Amino acid sequence: MFEVVTVKEALHRIINSVIDMDNEMEEVNILQALNRITGEKIVSSEVVPHFSRSTMDGFAVRAEDTFGASESMPAFLDIKGEINMGEEPGEDLKAGETMKIATGGMLPPGADSVLMLEHAEELDEKMLACHQPVAPGENVILEGEDLKEGEGVLEKNHRIRSQDIGALAAAGITRVKVLAPPRVAVISTGDELVSPGEKPKPGQIRDVNSFALAAAIQSAGAFPILCGIVRDEKSLLREAVEGVREEASLILISGGSSVGTRDVTAKVIDELGDPGVLVHGISIRPGKPTIYGMARKTPIFGLSGNPVSALVTFDIFVAPLIYRLRGLEREEIIPSRVKARVSRNIPSSQGREDYVRVKLEKEESGEYKAVPVFGKSGLITTLVDARGVICISQNKEGLEEGEEVEVILY
């Protein structure tokens, strides 16, 4: 019933299925706000700075008193003392006067600019020779130049970075309303699975994907909910999904690498509400059998039980959806990458995107060489050995030795 779709089409269906999200808000201290997303526009209730400040060590002046000054024909000004840092100047600056000021000092009323030390010569304690003219506003941050009262500090749905926390501190805002991180549930299915703390019997293996996906969810900025292991039976999987759907913003079902169990995941998504399965099969390797659907308002992925496939498809399909669910509307999250030349020919099939794990070797020239990691796709150690991944697009038949590629870093 479902056709295999391109990566682009799959991403389009996934991202567009969650247009109207409604995240809860919480208030946090700015020291806990890093990488959180603003839940509202944050406005300054103050003027920053609330007085005009010097950005240089020098002398506060009226610019017009310096016009025409030069090395050979200095302007002479009366030194009326020094401005103490953190204090209000004692008196106003009148025509022909100047006061010594350090970087960050408050300009006295009357002054409109600062003459740099380098262009001033203190003839004695009372008299300054000014060797260069300054323009009004020069070497000064004016009152309100950083923020005006009522001006937006941060927009809504903005990812909070170090500098944003600085700007909030500058405006005296120590608590902010941010969006609650999405809660992403992981259900591992498979009759062969036991938890990592257990000793598997013959035929059993440990549940890898719950833990690898939980870490990937944390990396993407969401909160993982581990639901444990569910046996390969439709009623049990349905029960597990129903049990967590109230609490979860997104559900990942991992497992079902065999045809029969894959069908179970798709059926459960369809049974739990419209629109049901939206993507079933993507032209990508690894990850072709990836399933995505919406059971009423709950987005659900069916990822491979093969951890390599699950993690590669997580980065391509799940992470962008999590960014969307976090409230990142405007910003594109762009992963770290480096240019490298491939160390050997890498074959690929036209008609699908191939993701090839690579190691990086730095050459003497400073260039990187991307060396494919060999090994069967089911081996988690091939991902451990990899420093990143390269994508061979669907209209290429492979890469040639020495060809330049971008390595998306892990």
Residues of this chain, 263-302, that bind a copy of itself according to CB under 8 A: none
- Residue in 111, 147, 358, 373 binding a copy of itself, rule: CB under 8 A: 147
- Residue in 81, 110, 200, 281 binding a copy of itself, rule: CB under 8 A: 200
Q: Does 53 bind a copy of itself (CB under 8 A)?
A: yes
Compute and round to an integer the Cα radius of gyration of the chain: 31
Q: Which helix (H) or strand (E) is 178 found in, with range? A: strand 175-179
Q: Does 136 bind a copy of itself (CB under 8 A)?
A: no
Phi, psi at residue 88, to the nearest 5°? -80, 135
The span of 69-77, 145-153, 245-253, 340-348 binding a copy of itself (CB under 8 A) equals 145-153
Q: Residue 100 CB, nearest distance to a copy of itself (Å)?
A: 11
- Residue in 258, 345, 349, 350 binding a copy of itself, rule: CB under 8 A: 258
Q: Residue 59 CB, nearest distance to a copy of itself (Å)?
A: 13
- Residue in 49, 281, 320, 398 binding a copy of itself, rule: CB under 8 A: 49
Q: Which of residues 352-381 bind a copy of itself (CB under 8 A)?
A: 375-381
DSSP per-residue codes, 48-76: BSSS-EESSSEEEE-GGGTTT--SSS-EE
- Residue in 60, 77, 106, 186 binding a copy of itself, rule: CB under 8 A: 106
Q: Which helix (H) or strand (E) is 294 found in, with range? A: strand 291-295
- Residue in 63, 134, 153, 186 binding a copy of itself, rule: CB under 8 A: 153
Residue type, 114: V
- Residue in 14, 37, 63, 165 binding a copy of itself, rule: CB under 8 A: 165
Q: Does 45 bind a copy of itself (CB under 8 A)?
A: no
For the chain, the distance separating the N- and C-terminal CA atoms, rounded to the nearest angstrom, is 35
Q: Does 191 bind a copy of itself (CB under 8 A)?
A: yes
Q: Quick count: other Cβ atoms within 10 Å of Cβ 74?
A: 19
Q: Does 215 bind a copy of itself (CB under 8 A)?
A: yes
Q: Does 305 bind a copy of itself (CB under 8 A)?
A: yes
Q: Which is nearer to a copy of itself, 35 or 350 (CB)?
A: 35
Q: Does 329 bind a copy of itself (CB under 8 A)?
A: no
- Which of 48, 43, 46, 44 lies closest to 143, judged by CA? 48
Phi, psi at residue 256, to the nearest 5°? 70, 55
Distance CA(206)–CA(225), nearest Å, equals: 18
**375, 377, 381, 386: CA torsion to nearest 10:** 80
Q: Which of residues 169-188 bind a copy of itself (CB under 8 A)?
A: 169-174
Phi, psi at residue 362, to the nearest 5°? -85, 125
